[in-house]
Structure 1
Amino acid sequence: MKLLSRKSITAATAVAVLGGLSIAAMPSQAATTTHNQATAHSSTAAPTLTARQLAKLPLTDRHLTKHEKTTLAIVLRDYYVAEGKSLDADAFANSFAKDGVFNDMVPGVAYRGKELGNVPRYMAGLFPDVHRELKRITVNGDVVSIELAIQGTFKGPLQSPAGTVKPTGAKVDVPTADFWYLHNGKVEKFNCFVGYSTMYQQMGINWDWASAVNKH
């Protein structure tokens, strides 16, 4: 299955966040739209995706209802505002319902309210060029399931229990699975499974198994 490239995700989502959620402008037009112009557009119009944009996406089922297209457009907008080059942590947080939650499933950490903006900020702090390569997308009503890879360059410091890990410039390509649950156009729950073991290994961080064994 053809992967969704950086160019494709920009084409499909830049207009979602910069074009009043119309997703009707060409990517080049969207790129020149300023933030002030974007906020001047009506925010009441439901987001949607054109047939051309849908054709570029790695969907498991292309027969989506109008509602499912709207749901998918909201999720794609959130990926766009979490990209390193188009980071907008506030927009990401505002897409969640009042009691919405982001669950970082592997470490078992949940983010709510103002903390939601810390999620994209943290990843962009480690990988300023962070990009999410969408590989397989399934939409079922208000639920969007996505297989993807988090990609980027380790250029920001990592705070660890043992101290600060200095950036190495290493490239990462981390297997990830995301599950989005929406209601009335808002994200109620986002369960994210990141392959942290792979990520840390690619960053040059090795697990200290000997230390763990010596504790017993």
Structure 2
Amino acid sequence: MKSNAEIVREAYRLAEGNILDGQGFRTLFTEDGTFNDLPNSLTFRGDQIPQALAGLASAFPDIHRELLEVHAIGDVVAVELRIQGTHLGGFPTPIGEIPPTGNRIDVPTADLWYLREGKIETFNCYNAANVWLAQLGADPDFESAIEAAKTAATGG
């Protein structure tokens, strides 16, 4: 039987842009397993899990995860990594898609994997979404946020 760290390393391998095996990735999860993209408040279950990988790979076909540290502590595997790739496809946002920019991304990320009996039960991804968006040229609009807060505070 593979160790928890080996299972997680296999998950990363299957999610690489040059391999991208969403169904293989899915089989590493329990039947009710979840993939949580915490910065974006997204949860994927079941057949949504491979779709999430395919969606990201459509925006970054050469997506790669550079694993910096992998630590297995019982049924938990903690990974420090960098998500890297080239923005060659549309990147979805709540108000529309960011068209391909050709920009390279190199996003600091921490992932927590919770396993049960050799299967992934929960995968929590904590990527630095602000860094990711800035690298795509989508800097936050602080001026509008400040004005909206002022208007709300005055009841206007």
Q: TM-score, normalised by structure 1?
A: 0.66
Show CA shifts across 1:83-125 (max 9, x none).
0000011111121101111111112221111111122112211
Q: CA deviation at 1:194?
A: 0.7
User: What amino acid maps onto 2:99 in structure 1?
Assistant: K
Q: How does 1:73-88 map to 2 (within 5 A)?
A: 73-88=6-21
Q: Would you say the 8 A contact 2:70–2:80 is kept in 1?
A: yes
What is the number of residues matched between the two proteins? Answer: 149
User: Structure 2 residue aligned with 1:164, among 94, 97, 101?
Assistant: 97
- Give the match for residue 203 of structure 1: 136
Match in the other structure for 2:106? 173
Hey, what does 2:56 align to over in structure 1?
Answer: 123
2:117 equivalent to 1:189: no
Check whether the contact 2:5–2:70 (CA below 8 A) recurs between aligned residues.
Answer: no
Amino acid at match of 1:143: V
Partner of 1:72: 5
Structure holding more strand per residue: 2
1:142 match:
75
Higher relative contact order (CA 8 A, sep 6+): 2
Tell me by how many angstroms 1:208 deviates. Answer: 1.5
Q: 1:97 aligned to 2:30? A: yes
The whole-number CA distance in structure 2 between the counterparts of 1:73 and 1:162 is 38
Cα distance change on mapping 1:178 and 1:161 into 2, 3 Å: closer
Point out where structure 1 has 5 or more consecutive residues left out of the alignment. 1-45, 48-69
Residue by residue over 1:157-178, the C-alpha shift from the partner in whole angstroms, topping out at 9 and shown as x without a partner, is 1233333321111011000000
In structure 2, give the amino acid aligned to 1:101.
T
Instruction: Give the SS at the match of 2:89.
Output: coil
Identity of aligned residues (%): 41
CA separation in 2, counterparts of 1:97 and 1:123?
A: 22
Shift of the 184–164 alpha-carbon distance from structure 1 to 2, 3 Å rule, reads same
More helix by share: 1
The one-letter code of the counterpart of 1:76 is R
Match of 1:4 in 2: none
Q: 2:66 aligns with which of 133, 142, 166?
A: 133
Give a deviation string over 1:195-216, Cα, whole Å, max 9, x none.
0100010111111222222322
In structure 2, the gaps of 5 or more residues are 152-156
Q: Please tell me whether residue 111 in structure 1 is matched to residue 25 in structure 2.
A: no
Describe the shift of the 1:174–1:73 C-alpha distance in structure 2 as closer, same or farther (beyond 3 A).
same
